[in-house]
Amino acid sequence: MVSLYSMTISGRGSVDSLDAALIELLAAEPRVGVLEASKRLRVARGTVQARLERLQEFGVVTGYGPEVDPAALGYEVTAFVTLEIRQAGGHDPVAERLAAIPEVLEVHTITGAGDMLCRVVARSNSDLQRVIDAIVSAEGVVRSATLISLATQVPYRVLPLVRVAAGRGR
């Protein structure tokens, strides 16, 4: 028999209020154990374990690593670099080359002006030039445009989205 819960989560995009509460707890305290989570959420340990396994299985929860602030490591400059790439080679080889550059934090294939968008960090503006030089020297990159971030107004977040997906707010 298929449970209602397995039907909603496998429908991709549906989580319930218990899932949302579990995700919020893990976001606030990533090192909380399953037993402690079950106590705080007032459900059985097996329920928390099953929910967690299902959230992982369906790719909702993707990791438990610590959040690291690049600025605290000395990388105080954040920039976004739009790349135009040579179409003959495709995106994947360029992405592989960019992944080898430690200061490249993310790379997205995009629509609009440019083919790829990279979020990068550097120790200073002059160090950013070194990072950009490494990026544009990757085979397949034709042209780049860089925007330097002055301040983060809304940091990367997913909890408001989890709450909406669980029907717990807008």
Q: What angle do CA 68, 123, 143 make, to 5 degrees?
A: 100
Which secondary structure element, helix H or strand E, spans residue 38, and what is its range? helix 34-41
> Could you say which DSSP state residue 65 is in?
P
Residue type, 127: D
Largest CA distance in the chain: 61
Of 87, 153, 146, 86, whose CA–CA distance to 117 is shortest? 146
Q: State which residues form the domain around 124.
A: 70-149
Other CB atoms within 10 Å distance of the CB of residue 85: 22
Are residues 101 and 125 both part of a single domain?
yes
Are residues 74 and 107 both part of a single domain?
yes
Are residues 145 and 76 both part of a single domain?
yes
* pLDDT per position as a tens digit, 77-105: 999 999 999 988 789 999 999 999 999 99
Are residues 77 and 137 both part of a single domain?
yes
pLDDT score, position 8: 47
Q: In this structure, is residue 157 part of a structural domain?
A: no
User: Residue 3 — very low, low, confident or very high, per pLDDT cuts 50/70/90?
Assistant: very low
For residue 75, pLDDT beyond 80: yes
